[in-house]
Amino acid sequence: MGRCPWGDFDILIGIAKLNLAMREIPVHYKRRRKGKSKMRIFKDGGVFFKMCWYGIKELKLKRR
């Protein structure tokens, strides 16, 4: 596992660094029937923005 706790950014940054082609595939979510989400707005939102910043730095430094 890399820096991202969810794995998304590790995959996306890796694809961009290797100049691989990326495709979008539609995903259809269903409404949660049971339980509550474990994600928290401030805690997980902060990690999300930190990973965005990390991705920007990684990709900008690569292109220089």
Number of domains in the chain: 1
Query: pLDDT in tens for each of the 64 residues of the chain?
Result: 467 777 778 888 888 888 899 888 999 988 888 888 888 888 888 888 888 888 888 888 766 5
Task: Name the pTM for this structure.
Answer: 0.61
What's residue 1's pLDDT?
Answer: 47
With a CB cutoff of 8 Å and minimum separation 6, the contacts of 17 are 58, 59, 62
Task: Decide if 61 is inside a domain.
Answer: yes
Query: What tokens were used for 16?
Result: 């961009």
1 located within any domain = no
Please report whether residue 54 resides in a domain: yes
pLDDT at res. 26: 93
pLDDT at 36 (0 to 100):
84
Query: Of 13, 4, 3, 11, whose CA–CA distance to 55 is shortest?
Result: 13
Query: Which structural domain range is residue 52 located in?
Result: 40-64
Residue 64 belongs to a domain: yes
Question: For residue 2, what pLDDT is reported?
Answer: 66
Whether 20 is covered by a domain: the verdict is: no
With beta carbons less than 8 A apart as the criterion, state whether 15 and 22 touch: yes
Q: Are 10 and 2 in contact (CB under 8 A)?
A: yes
User: Is there a domain that residue 57 lies in?
Assistant: yes
